[in-house]
Amino acid sequence: MALNGNGCCWIQERILSRNGCSVFLAPRSRSSAVILPRKSTALSFSSSFQFQGFVVDRKQSSSSMQTAAVRHLVGSVTKTQGLRFAVVVARFNEIVTRQLLEGALDTFRKYSVNEEDIDVVWVPGSFEIGIVAERLGKSRNYHAILCIGAVIRGDTTHYDAVANSVASGVLSAGLNSGVPCIFGVLTCEDMDQALNRAGGKSGNKGAECALTAIEMASLFDHHLK
C-alpha cells in the first residue's frame, strides 16, 4: 500500500473472488475504494458481498454461463428382468412373519420377478437376520436382500435390546456388503398391532418392503454399478 501526492491510497493487494476472478483495488481516496475486475474468462456473479471492509460488486455475465442438465437417478419397479432377490425370514413369531413373507412374494410376482430368482432363507429369530443378510450380500448372487421379522414388546427390556440390535445388524449388512438390505422387521407393542401390519387393516409391510427391494435393486443395477 502507498500514498501518492494527491493523498490517494494505492492498494496492490490482489483479492481472489469465490469464482476465481482476480480483482485489484483502484487508487481512490481513503474514504472510498472500488474494485476493478481484471480481464478473465471466469464467471462473475451479480449482487455484492463485504470483503475486509470493501463492498465488491459482482456482475453476472449470462452469456458466458453454462448450465449443465441435472440428472435424476431413480430405480424402476417395472424393469425386473434378471434381478435376483433373497428374503431372510425369522421363524420366531411365525404367525406374523409368514404373512409378511407371503405379502412380499405376492409383490415380487406382481412385478414380474421370476420365482427362480427368489431365494427364501429361514433363521431362528430376528437377531440372526443381520449376519445371514451380510453373508448373502457378499456372495454377489443377489441384487437386494429383504429382511423380515417381528419383534413384539414383552414385560422385560429384552424387546429394546433385540429391536436395536436387529436394526443395527440389517444396516451393517448393507453397508458391509454393498448390497441393499431392506428392513422389513416389525417392532410392535403387541400381537394385534403386528397382525394388523401383516395383512390386516394397516396393510402388509412385507409387500411394501418387497417393492422397496425392487426399486433399490434396479437403482444399483442400472445406475450405481
Q: Is residue 191 part of a domain?
A: yes
Binned at pLDDT 50, 70 and 90, residue 103 comes out as: very high
Rounded alpha-carbon distances, angstroms, from residue 187 to 50, 87, 193, 203: 53, 18, 9, 15
Is residue 1 in a domain?
A: no
The tens digit of pLDDT for each residue in 160-197 reads 999 999 999 999 999 999 999 999 999 999 999 999 99
The percentage of the chain sitting over the pLDDT mark of 70, rounded to a whole number, equals 70
Question: Global pTM?
Answer: 0.70
pLDDT digits (tens, 9 = 90+) for 54-93: 454 555 545 555 668 999 999 999 989 999 999 999 999 9
Whether residue 18 is found in the same domain as residue 89:
no
Domain count, the chain: 2
Does the annotation mark 223 as catalytic? no
Amino acid in position 31: S
Task: Determine the Cα–Cα distance for residues 65 and 44; give it in Å rounded to an integer.
Answer: 9
Could you read off the pLDDT of 15-30 as tens digits, one per residue? 444 455 554 444 554 4
**Among 72, 143, 158, 222, the one annotated catalytic:** 158
Q: Which among 166, 156, 87, 153 is positioned nearest to 126, based on CA atoms?
A: 166
Residues 101 and 208 in one domain: yes
Give the CATH number, domain containing residue 215.
Answer: 3.40.50.960
Domain hosting residue 46, numbered range: 7-60
